[in-house]
Amino acid sequence: MLHAVIMAGGSGTRFWPASRRRRPKQLLSLIDRPLLRATFDRILPLVPPERIWVVTTAATAAATLELLPELAPQQLLAEPVGRDTAACAGYASHAALRHDPDAVCAVLPADHVIGEEESFRNVIAAGAELIGRDGGLLAFGVRPTRAETGYGYLKLGEGRAEAGAWTIHELERFVEKPDAERARRYLDEGGYLWNSGIFVWSAAGLLEELRRQLPELAAGLVRIADAMGTPSAESTVAEVYPDLPRISVDYGVMEDATRRWVIPVDFPWSDVGSWPALRELIAADEDGNAVHGPSVAVGSANNLVYSDGPVVALAGVRDLIVVATGDAVLVVPAEQAQRVKEIVAELEARGLDDVL
């Protein structure tokens, strides 16, 4: 049966001040609903709640359950601390496998924005059909539109397979974030796709790859799995999880997996990696201002305004990102949005933890 694993353990700072330690990006309503809620709703027509597993951190577990009332508490897997996606995927695979020895898992980042949801579900279903039939690990690739250095790339191989109306390629190579020159070459050569972070694999197949490639991680997860459903489940996770190797599925599994597939997808996709990326997703007014929340602007153009309450008033400014919450405000030119990291570092250095 098809299960969904929603990876909701993110804790970045790129959306400060909207995002906080206890309110990471996936809980923010960057477009309409909280991104996690949108991810849940998107897969729901294909996978019922009792086969959806949400992996999150202890700090956001309560907020996550509140956001997803359909989710039974035992479907929520809380990591005591984040140990990157290989641990997360393995943890969820064990949970799914306990309920369904034939579980095929669609692994979904909780904090992406995806359009054409019908198309999204169709391609997930096709991927699940392939994996159920032929096995292996399937990555979902997005056609690149620019020489982006922030994503991993998937090189399409020669071999093909069919699933439903889709042609699925063997994955020849998995390349982590390239430099600008290589990104440019990939774009020019063709045959490379962006790694969307979405995967389909069987729970058993993923765990087999972990055993082979990351034996220490696999052993730790077996201890956790053995305790599942027993009174010591929680204490075992608390004891074992923090010491699991910290590595991503991309580096730790996909780069050297035995049987790998990639499916090119056509649905609109964004990982919304920054405030400027959000600006691209919000319909702008006639002056090019993309606005979320109450705002007035005079003589101002091409700004992003994001407010979760305060009225933001702009006069005579261009190309700014202005973010306002009740207790913190950010003002930065769009082209320097990455400096929010410096801001967060400065707030930490000054002990302003109330707004972190």
* Residue bearing tokens 């910290």: 246
Binding segment toward a copy of itself, per CB under 8 A, in 34-42, 103-111, 213-221, 334-342: 334-342
Residue 164 vs 310, nearer CB to a copy of itself: 310
Smallest distance from the beta carbon of 346 to a copy of itself, in angstroms? 5
Question: Binding to a copy of itself by residue 291, rule CB under 8 A?
Answer: no
Residue 255 phi, psi dihedral angles, 5° rounding: -60, -35
Residue 63 vs 355, nearer CB to a copy of itself: 355
Contact 27, 10 (CB under 8 A): no
Q: How many CB atoms lie within 10 A of CB 235?
A: 11
Sign of CA dihedral 60, 66, 33, 127: positive
Smallest distance from the beta carbon of 84 to a copy of itself, in angstroms? 28
Residue 118 vs 327, nearer CB to a copy of itself: 327
Question: Binding to a copy of itself by residue 310, rule CB under 8 A?
Answer: yes
Question: Binding to a copy of itself by residue 332, rule CB under 8 A?
Answer: yes
Cα separation, 122 vs 66, whole angstroms? 29
| Of 292, 332, 335, the residue nearest 312 (C-alpha) | 292
Contact 140, 114 (CB under 8 A): no
Question: Binding to a copy of itself by residue 285, rule CB under 8 A?
Answer: no
Binding mask 223-252 for a copy of itself (x = CB under 8 A): ------------------------------
3-class secondary structure, 345: helix
Question: Binding to a copy of itself by residue 324, rule CB under 8 A?
Answer: yes
Q: Could you say which of 69, 316, 351, 353 contacts a copy of itself (CB under 8 A)? A: 316
Question: Binding to a copy of itself by residue 22, rule CB under 8 A?
Answer: no
> Nearest 10 degrees: CA dihedral of 197, 73, 20, 31?
60
Q: Could you say which of 46, 187, 227, 328 contacts a copy of itself (CB under 8 A)? A: 328
Number of residues that bind a copy of itself (CB under 8 A): 38
> Nearest 10 degrees: CA dihedral of 136, 140, 145, 148?
-70
Smallest distance from the beta carbon of 42 to a copy of itself, in angstroms? 33
Cα separation, 1 vs 35, whole angstroms? 25
Q: Could you say which of 128, 139, 163, 322 contacts a copy of itself (CB under 8 A)? A: 322
Question: Binding to a copy of itself by residue 290, rule CB under 8 A?
Answer: no
Question: Binding to a copy of itself by residue 283, rule CB under 8 A?
Answer: no
Residue 91 vs 275, nearer CB to a copy of itself: 275
Could you tell me the CA-to-CA distances from 74 to 51, 65, 225, 251, 282 in Å, in that order?
A: 11, 10, 14, 29, 36
Contact 203, 96 (CB under 8 A): yes
DSSP state of 2: E
Residue 16 vs 241, nearer CB to a copy of itself: 16
Contacts of 278 (CB under 8 A, 6+ apart): 30, 272, 290, 304, 306
Question: Binding to a copy of itself by residue 330, rule CB under 8 A?
Answer: yes
Question: Binding to a copy of itself by residue 150, rule CB under 8 A?
Answer: no
Binding segment toward a copy of itself, per CB under 8 A, in 124-132, 219-227, 249-257, 312-320: 312-320
Could you tell me the CA-to-CA distances from 304 to 93, 114, 235, 243, 321 in Å, in that order?
A: 39, 20, 45, 41, 5
Residue 230 vs 336, nearer CB to a copy of itself: 336
- Residue 127 CB-density burial (10 A; 0-12 exposed, 13-18 middle, 19+ buried): buried
Smallest distance from the beta carbon of 231 to a copy of itself, in angstroms? 44
- What residues form DSSP beta bridges with 20? 23
Question: Binding to a copy of itself by residue 340, rule CB under 8 A?
Answer: yes
Binding segment toward a copy of itself, per CB under 8 A, in 3-11, 166-174, 193-201, 345-353: 345-353
Binding site for a copy of itself (CB under 8 A): 16-17, 294, 296, 298-299, 307, 309-317, 320, 322, 324-333, 336, 339-340, 342-343, 346-347, 350, 352, 355
